[in-house]
Structure 1
Amino acid sequence: MDADPVETNPDLYSIVFENERVRVLEYRDAPGAKSVPHHHPDSVMVTLSGFERRLSSGGESLELTLPAGAARWLGAQNHSGENIGTTETHVIFIELKEPSPAGRPGPAPLGPASGS
């Protein structure tokens, strides 16, 4: 599935900037909001608010809590999400358009990975 989140969830995602190498998305939702399944290529995610979410993909789900001001690598993945907390989710995604380097492992497991 390569469903574009801006097309599948236009009330939640908006394009902030785009060129031939990257696309920058802003994501906002309120407690209880859900997104439908969509795809993210390799990305850097920057949290502008602290939040709690449930991400679901392929019959698996993961609950996570992230603080405001975190920057995380997000390997290419398909998922849907739900705001399970009491605060708004506000995130910036910097999506990479270039292919992964040869020899790089496959997509990361569900959810964001820690940055270094």
Structure 2
Amino acid sequence: MDLDPVVTNPDAYRVIFENDRVRVLEYRDQPGHRTQPHQHPDSVMYTLSSFRRKLGVGGREVEVELQAGEARWLDAQEHYGENIGDSPTHTIFVELKEPAPGAAPGAAPAGGQPLGPSA
């Protein structure tokens, strides 16, 4: 099954730039919108709007609240997302096409599958 967010959630994700090393996605949704499960490679996320979301995978869920203008690292992961706030979500993802140095492709970091952005 293809878990590319542009394929699983074409109503919310669109490619705005791509080359051999990165792919840049724009994401937009409205309150109450929930995505289908999808995967992201290692990425940088830049928030264009403030938002509250719930992210989940494998029975685990976390709530994330970010302000407009924040940049966050997103470890490679699979999840679904749900806009649980009262404002639209608008964000940009810069997806890296090369794995981290020394990382086995598809390997979860120590401590298991990451979920959500980190500082």
Provide the residue aligned with 1:26 in structure 2: 26
How far 1:99 sits from its partner (Å)?
1.5
Aligned counterpart, 1:100: 100
Aligned to 2:44: 44
Runs of 4+ with deviation above 4 angstroms: none
- In structure 2, do the counterparts of structure 1 residues 108 and 58 end up closer, same or farther at CA, with 3 Å as the change threshold? closer
SS of 2:6 mapped into structure 1: helix
| Deviation string, structure 1 residues 36-71 (Cα, Å, up to 9, x no partner) | 000000000000000000000111000111000000
Aligned length: 114
**Partner residue, 1:90:** 90
Q: What TM-score comes out, normalization by structure 1 length?
A: 0.93
| Paired residues of 2:37 and 2:80 also in contact (CA < 8 A) | yes
TM-score normalized by the length of structure 2: 0.90
**Cα separation, 1, equivalents of 2:100 and 2:58:** 23
Could you list the runs of 5+ residues in structure 1 that have no partner in the other structure? none
